[in-house]
Amino acid sequence: MEAGWGVKIEYFVEDTPLGNAGALFKLRDRIGEEPFLLLNADAVFDVDFNRMVEFHRAHGGLVTLFTHPNSHPYDSGLIMADENNEVNAWLGKEDERPAYYKNRVNAGLHVIDPKALDMAGIDGSLVGTSDEITGKVIKVDLDRQILKPLCGMHAMFCYDSSEYVKDMGTPKRYRSVCSDFEKGVVEAKNLKNKQKAIFLDRDGTINKYVGFLRSEKELELLPGVAEAIKLINASGYLVIVVTNQPVIARGEVTWGGLAEIHNKLETELGKQGAYIDGLYFCPHHPHKGFEGEVAELKIECDCRKPKPGLILKAVEDLNINLEQSWMIGDSDSDVLAGEAAGCRAIKIEEGGLLEAVETILTY
């Protein structure tokens, strides 16, 4: 069938249900040997797949998962990955999960090298036939039989993106994505288009200021923060956290310790239906003489606020229009960083984030 926009569409009809990946094995010869896109049929999305495919090629894996944060990570399957975005674990809704985790959910869009199918050891000729022992029709489950076995094998990576992907598998979700489409939200979130963002400082803006925060136990969200971030999530703005973390250079917190702090931040926000689209931190500190300090990080850098490096890195990654963006923080260095980057800035008192966000969204 030739679609109206010049795309050739072919259909494979399953006379007997084959599971959500059984058709891949019936079509294995047609697929060939080049990586292909596999997209869930009940998802509405507008994604710059060129970026995703470029990421896939650069990382050299067999599978790339499109991952994103959502408003209910506590009851979603979670993707656990390292600092290079290599997938180490895939936790289903039913699986035990750590106390704190990054809000990273599989969205159902994949780049798959056909070698991943061959590695699954599934005989395509048997798919759809009855099992000799159980008598049940042999089906193939994409996640359990093809993707999850690749965890920790240096073969699967996650591509984190803020672009629009939502499933429409229920009447309520269908109405929601229709509304988003009519408002232009779906198309606007494509990273080919300029994005607008609200940059947030961390300590004293999102969480209670305790001086140098050195443990996840010390992190406590300020009142109204989750509500403020939910408003931003619904507005079309990206939520980007930019924070100085000299505790790394000072040797007071490890990289893993900082990751756990940020995992708690995302977990606590997620429990209240809020999420961040990106988090950038500066680990440097120019002043020397601290016991246990990390010498290579005791430098003058371009990313420590009031310099604008963290904001500019987010602009590069997410195609952000600074003229339509804002910086909110509780210090002069936050304001100066925002202004140096070229966006508008607001200085708040601790606990003032919700009022500032409401002001921006009615500006």
Active site residues: 201, 203
Beta-ladder partners of 347:
329
The helix, strand and coil proportions of the chain, stated in percent and rounded to the nearest 5, come to 35, 20, 45
Collapsed DSSP state (helix, strand, coil) of residue 282 = strand
Q: Can the peptide bond before residue 306 be classed as cis, meaning omega within 30 degrees of 0?
A: yes
Say if CB 200 and CB 329 are below 8 A apart. Answer: yes
User: What region does 43 belong to: left with phi over 0, alpha with psi -120 to 50, or beta?
Assistant: beta
In this structure, what DSSP letter does residue 268 have? H
What is the residue whose two structure tokens read 């959502």? Answer: 70
CA distance 288 to 321: 37
Beta strands, E only, 85-229? 87-91, 105-112, 156-160, 164-167, 197-200
Pairing verdict, β 36-39 and 63-68: unpaired
Beta-ladder partners of 87:
81
Q: How far is CA 136 from CA 87, 128, 133, 292, in A?
A: 32, 9, 8, 62
CA distance 180 to 161: 18
User: Closest Cα to residue 93, out of 61, 127, 70?
Assistant: 70
Q: How far is CA 14 from CA 19, 139, 208, in A?
A: 10, 11, 56
